[in-house]
Structure 1
């Protein structure tokens, strides 16, 4: 019974996330989520007492999955810590662009400004998630300095925060411009800040 509970709850989260990633949180009604998940309203309210609580759970689930994927990228045994770090940034291109232009699939980029004005619990969930992302980046930079693949950094935590903010801004500009120029500029700025070869190509 517990496995069934988890599966149904996760199914609703996954279906809702897919729609909200495309249309935003306010632009998606509860009935659209119910239809996509093929569950009755009573089942939805069994797991989530409101749409806002659903949104909070969806963001927490997204952050958990994001961090797990991030950990895999940053701990590749065949790559140096600096190479793994640049693999992470290269992944932002595939997250922010599709073949036709710009279709951002990062919920931090997609929903931050929207939910910050709409829901304090959702804002806090995203804020906590981004803090955890930055902390992982700082650790990766410390590991890269330790294995010699990065030059010493005076303040890895500050560098991690600066780079994360740079890439968030680049992702937002990519949505406006409908091209990859901002992400390409962020790539070059990252190489310069980390003192890596300027001719290194993104994935």
Structure 2
């Protein structure tokens, strides 16, 4: 095996190679030897960057959220249209990523969430930070929608603050994604989209 010299690019290379493996079989289902073989790096290079498999798992999650939150910012703040249109665009993207042919676009939170929270406090904390980053961004977009007039929540949601609505939406979509994985059917995700429009007070053609 031709070893790759330790550089920051090698660290990212290891994380990139590990991502699809973890999406396929989870954290405990992928051994260190498999990651090393796939990345074509020796064990010494791995431990140069990660002190343990747990530290490696935390780094995988942090890298995942860095990329995901960047994409979320692009959809919720940089995309054209009203805040309401950007919100629906974000959830359209979520639906497409969970039902399309690209397995690597699947949600790593759905795959690893329940598994690693009982195994590692540092990985649980990484998940908590990442998911909070998502709901914070959703809340800011909801607030922007109220400011630009594109979001007029129905009476039952008017008393909820933007953060509460954001958390409710994220919980709904996370649960729907898990159910879609269990049933191999997108019906739960389509229902999540209908519920999202209802909670935000949006018509089907918004």
Alignment counterpart, residue 25 of structure 1, candidates 24, 27, 40: 27
Q: Structure 1 pair 77/31, CA: closer, same or farther in 2 (3 Å)?
A: closer
SS in 1 for 2:78: coil
**Aligned Cα root-mean-square deviation (Å):** 1.7
> In the TM superposition, what are the counterparts of 1:45-194 in structure 2 within 5 Å?
45-99=47-101, 105-151=106-152, 153-154=158-159, 155-194=161-200
Contact 1:16–1:33 (CA under 8 A) maintained in structure 2? yes
How big is each residue's C-alpha offset from its partner over 1:68-121, in whole Å with a ceiling of 9 and x where there is no partner?
110001123521111011111111122212349x88711111100000111111
Per-residue deviation, residues 52-78 of structure 1 (Å, max 9, x unmatched): 100001101111111111000112352
Return the offset for 1:178.
0.5
The one-character-per-residue Cα deviations of 1:5-43 (angstroms, maximum 9, x if unpaired) are 221100001101121111100000001101111111110
Equivalent residue for 2:18? 16
Alpha-carbon separation, structure 2, partners of 1:174 and 1:77: 28
Shift of 1:179: 1.0
The answer to which of 149-158 and 35-44 deviates more is 149-158
CA deviation profile, 1:124-169 (whole Å, cap 9, x unmatched): 1101111111011000000111111111543111000001000000
Aligned length in residues: 196
Q: Does the aligned pair in 2 maintain the 1:103–1:175 contact within 8 Å? A: no
Give TM-score, length-normalised by structure 2. 0.90
User: Which whole-Å CA distance do the structure 2 matches of 1:69 and 1:159 have between them?
Assistant: 21
Residues 104 and 176 from structure 1, CA distance in 2 versus in 1: closer, same or farther, beyond 3 angstroms?
A: farther
Runs of 4+ aligned structure 1 residues displaced above 6 Å come to none
How does 1:29-48 map onto structure 2 within 5 Å?
Answer: 29-48=31-50
Q: Can you give the 5+ residue segments of structure 2 that lack an aligned partner in the other structure? A: 1-5
